[in-house]
Amino acid sequence: MTTDEALPMVDVSGYINPKAAGDKERVIAEVRDACAQYGFFQTKGHGIPLSTQQGLLTSIDTLFNMPKEEKRKLSFLENVSRRGYEESGMSLRDGDALPDSKEQDTKAYYIGREDAEVSHSGFYGPNVWPPLPEDEFRNPVWEYYQATHRLGQIIWEILLQGLGHPTSLMDAFAKKPMVVMKMIRYPPLSTTLPGQFGVGAHTDFGGVTVLLQQPGKHGLEVWHEGNETWLPVQATEDVYVINCGDMIMRWSGGKYKSAKHRVINQADNESRLSCATFFHGDIKASNPLNPTDPAKETVGQLLVKRFRNQFSFHKDAIAEVEERAEVDVAA
């Protein structure tokens, strides 16, 4: 069941470039209330140029139009930092049904912060760039990544202030943040089976998600627990969708929600593009939303706990975060 109710729209320009007294406080309150009620909001006034968004979408199409054999050479399963290309079925959670063959048209590509060397057992490392002219992929994609990285950090600052904490807590939390970007192309609705989703109902793992939807290509729906309904989120030009992940809900003591959402491409004969940037924080950082949290869980620990059955984490990565957990408890 869906409804005509819409997610709140927040103009964050009042926080980024305040023009009058109270502008910042208004944005902080609006974001706090939206995340408390829905776990999601839409935003404009974010400062990311439309040309940067359009360049990113063009680059995604260019990438996914490469020959299948060339894309598979870039498989994220061959990269210790899990950067690169993914097809449906490459990564499944325990208990997931195998994807139908028609679903193989769903594509994804991951990048993250650019570190010259692999460190922390692959949590940090270099990106995998396809063999395309730099002005057709790497340059516009990296420009977009940096822009959404900045926006993700701004949203984190706003969330902190919404709970009465200073933005200075971001100094440690974002010292070397894990910021992952996932570019996606969903197949046309006509190529999927009845009841099959582009992405089934799920919550995001971690921190702040900054989502760009291809304008006019609708499909995102957010679950409103209070009304027990799915809220359709229109794909509107120059409007981003922001949401909180499970880590934020856990660390805020439930003051901010992490809501289920799903994707159904509504275009019968056209693919649908989207791009999500996930700002999680430094893998060694603990809860900035409650600095006195006795659990002292880190981003890395929660990441492994959530995905160890879905991803093939190297045993050294698991050992590293678990060893840190034991040290923290002992301290």
Confidence (pLDDT) at 190:
63
Of 252, 183, 176, which is closest to residue 212 (Cα–Cα)?
A: 183
State the Cα torsion 303-304-306-312 to the nearest 10°.
Answer: 120
Categorize the per-residue pLDDT at 265 as very low, low, confident or very high, splitting at 50, 70 and 90: confident
Helix (H) or strand (E) holding 207: none
Task: Determine the Cα–Cα distance for residues 331 and 325; give it in Å rounded to an integer.
Answer: 10
**In the predicted model, is pLDDT for residue 176 greater than 50?**
yes
Stated pTM of the model: 0.89
Categorize the per-residue pLDDT at 329 as very low, low, confident or very high, splitting at 50, 70 and 90: very low
Categorize the per-residue pLDDT at 5 as very low, low, confident or very high, splitting at 50, 70 and 90: confident
Confidence (pLDDT) at 261:
95
Interval 34-47: pLDDT, tens: 999 999 999 999 99
* Percent of residues, the chain, with pLDDT higher than 70: 82
